Structure 1
């Protein structure tokens, strides 16, 4: 089964830390490459049917099995992250023994969830610096940090 549709160009993968990276939707060959580079966990935060030609959650599950990856589906709408979403994301991160890759349409939701899952370990400024270098803005989630900024 090939999931490398012609409309997908090479995906920009942003390595936020040595253990965590984000991107927009991947092709199967990019997923294979990530697995070869030590990624053992894949987190999909993109709801099904966001756009035409999008790979479904079920197909991602199949691909994850093919490449021996743990797979988590935590669909979120951009800018709307519940405590449950953050807790599920954090739990998925903790289950990885190697590297984690998370994706959505552009990588923004994945990066926001990572920041929110790590707000008890890193300051807002540190998280913002880690994400800004890759072009991700945390302004939309700044209120979720309360007075920790």
Structure 2
């Protein structure tokens, strides 16, 4: 698990597994947002399974699937709503973390400048 902190409130990661939930809880995350649709690839952990393990670890789990390369304005709007209501800190994940980082950048819930978003992305290894 390779977690990259974007802000105090949000970090992103590649695909997580049910075995990661205890570690995620120990790291202090209060909410997980899954930005990956089920069955994107064979043998990918199902959202339902991850949600059950997150609940057992005391972490809120929200499912906001975004099809890779097909992010919609509705996806951005939904992320904005979820982000505003979620307990922090938040861990958002997808296949590599890029989709989650771009979703955050497009939503811009912290009202950052484009330059600041770009800098944060570059520091985390993403082009936003």
Task: Tell me whether 1:104 sits opposite 2:127 in the alignment.
Answer: no
CA distance in 2, matches of 1:79, 1:30: 26
Q: State the match for 2:44 in structure 1.
A: 54
**In the TM superposition, what is the alpha-carbon distance from 1:92 to its structure 2 partner?**
1.5
- Provide structure 1 residue ranges, at least 5 long, that are not aligned to the other structure: 1-10, 139-149
**In the TM superposition, what is the alpha-carbon distance from 1:114 to its structure 2 partner?**
0.8
Deviations 1:61-90 (A, max 9, x none): 211211122211111122322121111111
CA distance in 2, matches of 1:119, 1:93: 7
Matched length: 128
Superposed structure 1 runs of 4+ greater than 6 Å apart:
none
Instruction: Tell me the TM-score normalised to structure 2 length.
Output: 0.91
Q: State the match for 1:94 in structure 2.
A: 84
**In the TM superposition, what is the alpha-carbon distance from 1:55 to its structure 2 partner?**
0.4
Change (3 A) 1:20 1:84: same
Three-state SS of the structure 1 residue aligned to 2:54 is: helix
RMSD: 1.5
Select 2:24's aligned residue among 25, 34, 37.
34
Change (3 A) 1:97 1:119: closer
Instruction: Tell me the TM-score normalised to structure 1 length.
Output: 0.79
CA distance in 2, matches of 1:19, 1:96: 10
Larger RCO, structure (CA 8 Å, separation 6 or more): 2
**Which is higher, the Rg of structure 1 or of structure 2?**
1
**In the TM superposition, what is the alpha-carbon distance from 1:20 to its structure 2 partner?**
0.8
- Provide structure 2 residue ranges, at least 5 long, that are not aligned to the other structure: none
CA distance in 1, matches of 2:71, 2:110: 16
Q: Is the 8 A contact 2:17 2:45 kept in 1?
A: no
Three-state SS of the structure 2 residue aligned to 1:42 is: strand
CA distance in 2, matches of 1:38, 1:79: 31
